[in-house]
């Protein structure tokens, strides 16, 4: 097991050349990107006055509690998700998609971890496919994957009919065991051998996903994942300079207004045609 500082030129510690049955799967928040993609996307939406403060007040503290506590209570998460979906209900998908690339440039590009990006690039250079697998909205994930030159992305899907959000999810959030099942299904569709694949994550919630592959990596791990990785002799990488800020997924100087913006973006941007 190794735990090393960030190196933009680093490569995986296992052979990646010439293996068409192998691929790599990366979690997004605090693995590929410092902080939460939803938070950064929400800042962009809030800046553009897509949401009004009065609409955010009723659940801003839910998001603040979740981020600062670093605890994923199912009931609390459900409340925050329902609030976010109710805010976008009736809005057009195109309203958000048209500014997604701009928000990436404004808030996300500079927060990509160079070390993790180098790991992803090593897989790409070896001819392997590389996917983001995240609980973030699928179309946000797709924008990020495209900008990083990755193969594609799996993410949480929100329902829309005729280009308008219904306020419902399609299925469940891509989180925990659901993320592992999505990875398993993708591997089957791509005819991959998971024992020859790699997966990367910062969160103990992704232990089911990491356990599926032959080459699991703990990137910027939380305490539970760090303990689990050490026990199983998984590889570790820690690119953080400020452990606390990385853990909660919010820039240290962020205020409640910005947190509210992040909560407002807790939606999945995916159209469901009928």
> pLDDT (tens digit, 9 = 90+) per residue, 189-241?
999 999 999 999 999 999 999 999 999 999 999 999 999 999 999 999 999 86
pLDDT digits (tens, 9 = 90+) for 167-201: 888 888 898 999 999 999 999 999 999 999 999 99
What pLDDT, on a 0 to 100 scale, did the predictor assign at position 262?
36
Structural domains of the chain ordered from first start: 17-264 (3.40.50.1000)
Using CA atoms, how far apart are residues 157 and 209, in angstroms rounded to an integer?
19
Residue ranges of alpha helices (H) inside 206-255 are 207-210, 223-232, 243-248
pTM of the predicted model as reported, rounded to 2 decimal places: 0.79
- Of the candidates 262, 269, 268, which has an alpha carbon nearest to the alpha carbon of residue 56? 262
Lowest mean pLDDT among 41-55, 122-136, 171-185, 244-258: 244-258
Judge contact between 268 and 135, C-beta under 8 A: no
90-147 residue pLDDT tens: 878 888 777 889 999 999 999 999 999 999 999 999 999 999 999 888 888 999 999 9
> At 264, which helix (H) or strand (E)?
helix 256-264
Catalytic positions are: 27, 29
CA dist 206 → 15, 61, 119, 216, 261 (Å): 23, 25, 18, 10, 26
Which is more confident, 151 or 12? 151
Q: Give the pLDDT band (50/70/90) at residue 84.
A: low
């Amino acid at each position: 097991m190794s735990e090393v500082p960030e190196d933009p030129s680093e490569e995986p510690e296992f052979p990646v050349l010439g293996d068409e049955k192998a691929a790599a799967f990366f979690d997004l928040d605090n693995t590929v990107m410092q902080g939460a993609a939803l938070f950064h996307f929400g800042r962009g939406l809030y800046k553009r006055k897509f949401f009004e403060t009065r609409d955010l007040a009723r659940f801003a503290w839910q998001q603040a509690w979740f981020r600062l506590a670093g605890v994923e209570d199912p009931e609390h998460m459900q409340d925050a998700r329902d609030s976010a979906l109710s805010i976008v209900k009736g809005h057009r998908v195109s309203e958000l998609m048209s500014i997604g690339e701009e928000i990436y440039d404004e808030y996300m590009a500079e927060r990509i971890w160079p070390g993790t990006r180098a790991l992803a690039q090593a897989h790409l250079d070896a001819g392997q496919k590389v996917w983001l697998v995240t609980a973030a909205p699928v179309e946000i994930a797709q924008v990020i994957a495209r900008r990083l030159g990755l193969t594609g992305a799996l993410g949480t899907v929100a329902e829309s009919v005729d280009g308008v959000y219904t306020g419902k999810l399609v299925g469940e959030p891509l989180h925990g065991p659901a993320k592992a099942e999505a990875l398993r299904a993708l591997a089957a569709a791509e005819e991959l051998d998971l024992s020859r694949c790699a997966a990367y994550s910062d969160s103990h919630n992704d232990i089911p996903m990491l356990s599926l592959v032959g080459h699991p990596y703990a990137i910027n791990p939380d305490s539970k994942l760090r303990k689990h990785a050490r026990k199983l002799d998984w590889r570790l990488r820690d690119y953080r300079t400020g452990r606390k800020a990385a853990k909660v997924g919010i820039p240290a100087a962020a205020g409640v207004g910005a947190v509210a913006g992040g909560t407002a973006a807790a939606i999945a941007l995916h159209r469901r045609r009928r």
